[in-house]
Amino acid sequence: MINVERILEKLDSHLHKNDYESAERHLLYWLEEGKNSREEIPLLNELMGLYRKVGREEDAIKTAEKGLDALKKHGISDKISGATTYLNSATVFKAFGKAEEAIPLFERAREIYEKNLDTDDTRLGGLYNNMALALVDLKRFNEAKDLYLKAISVMEKSEKGALEVAITYLNMASAVEEKVGLLDGDIEIQDYLKKAEDLIESFPERDGYYAFVCEKCATVFGYYGHFYFENELKERAKKIYEGT
C-alpha cells in the first residue's frame, strides 16, 4: 500500500516551486505503483487538477474519466471521497468548455455532499461556486445566482472564508455582465466589486493564501476599470511572495 499523505507532501513541494514537470512525473510514478488500489483515486484527483491548471485539455479529460471509472471499480461512488472526484472531474469539463457535461457531475457531488456534510462545511461552498460558474456558461443565470448566494452563506462562516466570499462577489459581477451587459448591469456590478474590495481590504492575515487571492482578483478589478486597486493587489502579492 502506498502512503498517499507523503506523496501529496512531496507533490506540494514541486507545486510550490511551479515545477509542473516534476509534479507530473511524481504523480505518474506513484499512480503506476498504486494501480488498481483505492489509493489511486486521490492521485488521479491531483493529476487532473494539474493538467487543468496547465491547460492540457486531452490529458485532463482522460484523467477525469479514469477517476470516474475508479469510483465504480472501488465501489465508492456514493461516498464523500467519490463526491470529491465528481467535483474535480466536473471542474475539468467546465474549464475546457464542456459545461453541459459538467453539470450532471456537479449534481451528483452536490447530492452526496448535502446528504453527508454539515451545512457550514467549506467543501459545500466550493461546490456551489464552481457549479454556478458552469451554469453561467449555460446562461442559467437565476440558478447560478442562487448557488452563489448559497456559497456565500457557507463561506462567510469560515475562518478564512471572507476571501472566498470576495471571489464569489467577483464571479457574480461577471455573471451580471454576461446576462445583461456592462451598461445595463453597471450598478449591480459596481456593488459586487465594492463588496469584494471591502472584504479583501479588511482581511487581517497577509499570508501566502492572501497573496494568491490578490493575484486571482487583481485582473478582474482591472477589467472593470479599477486600475489602482488592480495594481495595489499585484504589489501586495509580490511583496508577500518576496517576503518583504
Q: What is the pLDDT of residues 108-120, one digit of tens each?
A: 999 999 999 999 9
Domains of the chain: 1-116 (1.25.40.10), 148-244 (no CATH)
Q: Which of 59, 44, 48, 60 is closest to 7 using CA atoms?
A: 44
Q: What's the predicted TM-score (pTM) here?
A: 0.91
Nearby residues of 74 by Cβ (< 8 Å), 6 or more positions away: 38, 41
Query: 9 exposed, middle or buried (CB, 10 Å; 0-12, 13-18, 19+)?
Result: exposed
pLDDT of residue 244: 62
Q: Residue 159: pLDDT band by 50, 70, 90 thresholds?
A: confident
pLDDT of 1 > 80? The answer is no
Q: What is the pLDDT of residues 37-94, one digit of tens each?
A: 999 999 999 999 999 999 999 999 999 999 999 999 999 999 999 999 999 999 999 9
Tell me which of 57 and 18 has the higher pLDDT. Answer: 57
